[in-house]
Amino acid sequence: MNRAYIDRCRRREQSALPALWDLLDRVRDPEIPVLSIWDLGVLHDVAEEQGRVVVTITPTYSGCPAMETIRSDIEQVLGEAGVGPLEIRTRLAPAWSSAWISPEGCARLREYGIAPPEQCAADADGLTPDAGVLCPRCGSADSRRVSEFGSTACKALFRCNACGEPFDYFKTI
């Protein structure tokens, strides 16, 4: 279990605003709707500062267009619940890592047909490997990377040699 995830769980457990964390579970990655921003590791903290609710998020990739949607969805969900005034803060350091995805998030990704970024599946540089990712359809490890870059910034494209199907892999970064 990674340190960043444990720290995030602790912030949520010890938060003075547990209901807001629960509300924000409704905000999903617009491109991978099985993942909430909590699962994805984008939601860093929810706190109150001088009468304002401050939601802090860590962007995934520098140019990920989903971040804009996520910001406006946070405003909408909290706005509809009458929460305010609201400030959404972007936090760049430490940089987001695929290791921050929650264990539940990894399970949901696999179920959804996307191979999650498992620790075992990084190569020596800590990048996406060129083979050996478990196929989310048949479970075989006999797979190869077709492309480093997939349908969104966070995914690489693989093919399973056992069942012959192509699949997305949530990139190790």
Partner 1 sequence: MNDDDSKQATLAYALRLGDDSLVLGQRISEWVSNAPFLEEDIACGNVALDYIGRARLYYGYAAELAADGRDEDDFAYLRSAREFRNYLIYELPRGDFAFTQVRQLLVDLFNTGYLAALAGSRDATLAAIAAKAIKETRYHLRRSREWVLRLGDGTGESHRRTQKALDDLWGYTHELFEPDALELRLAAAGTGVDTAALKPEWKRALAAVLNEATLSLPADDWAVRGGRTGYHTENLGHLLTQLQSIHRAYPGCRW
Q: Which of 10, 104, 149, 162 binds partner 1 (CB under 8 A)?
A: 149
Selection from partner 1, Zn ion, none that 63 binds (CB < 5 to 8 A by kind) is partner 1
Q: Work out how close the CB of 173 gets to partner 1 at its nearest, in angstroms, rounded to a whole number.
A: 5
Q: What residue 4 binds from Zn ion, partner 1, none (CB within 5 to 8 A, per partner kind)? A: none
Query: In this structure, what token pair is assigned to residue 33?
Result: 């709707």
Does 65 participate in binding partner 1 (rule CB under 8 A)?
Answer: yes
Residue 151 near partner 1 by CB under 8 A:
yes
Q: CB within 8 A of 105, min separation 6: which ones?
A: 35, 36, 39, 40, 41, 116
Q: Provide, rounded to whole angstroms, the least separation between the CB of residue 131 and Zn ion.
A: 13
Tell me the C-alpha distance between 77 and 150, whole Å: 30
100 phi and psi angles, rounded to 5 deg: -80, -10
What is the C-alpha to C-alpha distance for residues 131 and 122, in angstroms, rounded to an integer? 10
Closest CA to 89 of 51, 46, 50: 46
| Smallest separation (angstroms) from partner 1 to the CB of 128 | 8
Could you list the residues that contact partner 1 (CB under 8 A)?
A: 59, 61-65, 92-96, 125, 127-128, 146-151, 153, 157, 171, 173
